[in-house]
Amino acid sequence: MKHLWCPWRIDYILGPKADSCVLCLPERRDEDDERLVLYRGKWNFVIINKYPYNNGHIMIAPNRHVMDITLLSPEEASEMMDLLRSCTAILQKHFSPQGLNIGLNLGEAAGAGIREHMHFHLVPRWNGDSSFMAVLDEVRVIPEHLRATYNSLKTYFN
């Protein structure tokens, strides 16, 4: 049996579960720090992925519960593209990655984990970041705690 120590997951295991879409965030800015929301725009928001593929993994999602990019209004789509550009620059400046994965999975067959609420992923990448853990044991190692990543990135959005 393989064991992986992930002490931050106990908050998820024991904590309250959402009755609705996890990306439908109420306009309660007092909870943004707890929810790891980095930025709220007029039409979209930026949030740290609680289950990251790599360190610095963030997501951009529309405020409105919409599952397809074709359903975005021109204003939502424009702000989303501006945020994609801004977030790319922030991740490049802060983490100095050798690359970035930027993607949108539309529909369950395309790999969308939250198919009902579309969102873009931005994932910093470094040569060799998959290491032996991912190759041999199908395990990813995230070298920084989510709270530390949130606190360091939040300064760029203030």
Residue 119 known to be catalytic = yes
CATH number of the domain enclosing 50:
3.30.428.10
pLDDT of 133: 47
Distance CA 71, CA 88 (A): 24
Contact 57, 69 (CB under 8 A): no
Q: What percent of the chain has pLDDT over 70?
A: 81
pLDDT of 115: 80
pLDDT of 132: 47
Report CA torsion sign: 125, 34, 69, 17: positive
What is the overall mean pLDDT for the chain? 85
Domain annotation covers residue 5: no
pLDDT band at 4 (very low <50, low <70, confident <90, very high): low
Question: How does pLDDT run across 45-67, given as a tens digit for each residue?
Answer: 999 998 888 889 999 999 999 99
Range of the domain at 62: 25-157
How many structural domains are present in the chain? 1
Domain annotation covers residue 7: no
pLDDT of 86: 98
Domain annotation covers residue 109: yes
Reference 104, options 93, 96, 112; nearest CA is 112
Q: What percent of the chain has pLDDT over 90?
A: 52
Q: How far is CA 51 from CA 47, 56, 121, 140, 142, in A?
A: 12, 11, 12, 11, 10
pLDDT of 130: 67
22 or 102, greater pLDDT: 102
Catalytic residue among 117, 119, 121, 145: 119
pTM equals 0.80
Domain annotation covers residue 76: yes
Domain annotation covers residue 73: yes
Domain annotation covers residue 53: yes
**Does 96 have pLDDT greater than 50?**
yes
